Amino acid sequence: MQIADNKIVLIHYTLTNLDDEVMDSSDGGEPLAYLHGKGNIVPGLEKELLGKQAGDKVNVEVSPEEGYGELNEELIQEVDRAAFEGVEAIEVGMRFMAQTAWGQQPVVVTAVTEESVIVDGNHPLADQTLKFDVEVVEVRDASEEELEHGHAHGAGGHHH
């Protein structure tokens, strides 16, 4: 069976950056399960997997535009330190949920001064070219429930 929209796909993958540093991998674990055509994985990888089948191996380089997007400077903001009331020590690398006009947004602290904190709401892999080494493990029809929910269920997918 070939990968197409509304198919459940199980893949083993290793994600590296342009310096060949491993950013994420399913190695040693369950394969990642996703519902093809529903935006469950980055667009550039999803596009390259279309038409593949179990046993196929693919090496894909995905541009920022087809991955996690380009860096959005509007998502980097200086926030008054008073907004972190109750947090004793604020350090670079800490993650918080910020309330924005679009709802809750994860942010990471990138700088701290006496008066303010710089936070970045971009995805950690934004503005990076991504290299995926993928092996297609299985392709199957999605269940009605998976189609209704918009994602894979079971091993490697979402568990309710």
Strand-strand pairing, 130-141 and 57-62: antiparallel
Is residue 89 located within the same domain as residue 22?
A: no
pLDDT score, position 156: 62
What is the signed CA dihedral for 42, 15, 126, 89, rounded to 10 degrees? 120
pLDDT score, position 158: 63
Q: Is 37 within 8 Å of 4 (Cβ atoms)?
A: yes
Angle at 2 between CA 136 and CA 61, to 5 degrees: 50
**Residues 6 or more apart whose Cβ sits within 8 Å of residue 127:** 64, 69, 70, 71
Token duo for residue 12? 């083993």
The residue range of the domain holding 84 is 73-120
In a domain, residue 20? The reply is yes
pLDDT score, position 138: 97
pLDDT score, position 136: 98
pLDDT score, position 102: 74
pTM of the model: 0.81
In a domain, residue 141? The reply is yes
pLDDT score, position 27: 93
In a domain, residue 157? The reply is no
Is residue 64 located within the same domain as residue 92?
A: no
Is residue 62 located within the same domain as residue 133?
A: yes
Other CB atoms within 10 A of residue 129 CB:
15
| pLDDT tens, the chain, 160 aa long | 999 999 999 999 999 999 999 999 999 999 999 999 999 999 999 999 999 999 999 999 999 999 999 999 999 999 999 888 888 899 999 999 988 777 888 999 999 999 999 999 999 999 999 999 999 999 999 999 999 999 999 766 665 5
The domain spanning residue 36 has which CATH number? 3.10.50.40
Is residue 13 located within the same domain as residue 64?
A: yes
pLDDT score, position 157: 65
pLDDT score, position 159: 57
Farthest-apart Cα atoms in the chain, separation: 59
Is residue 51 located within the same domain as residue 85?
A: no
Is residue 81 located within the same domain as residue 115?
A: yes
Q: What type of residue sits at position 20?
A: D
CA quadruple 39, 43, 49, 54: dihedral sign = negative
Q: Where are the alpha helices (DSSP H) in the chain?
A: 43-49, 144-149
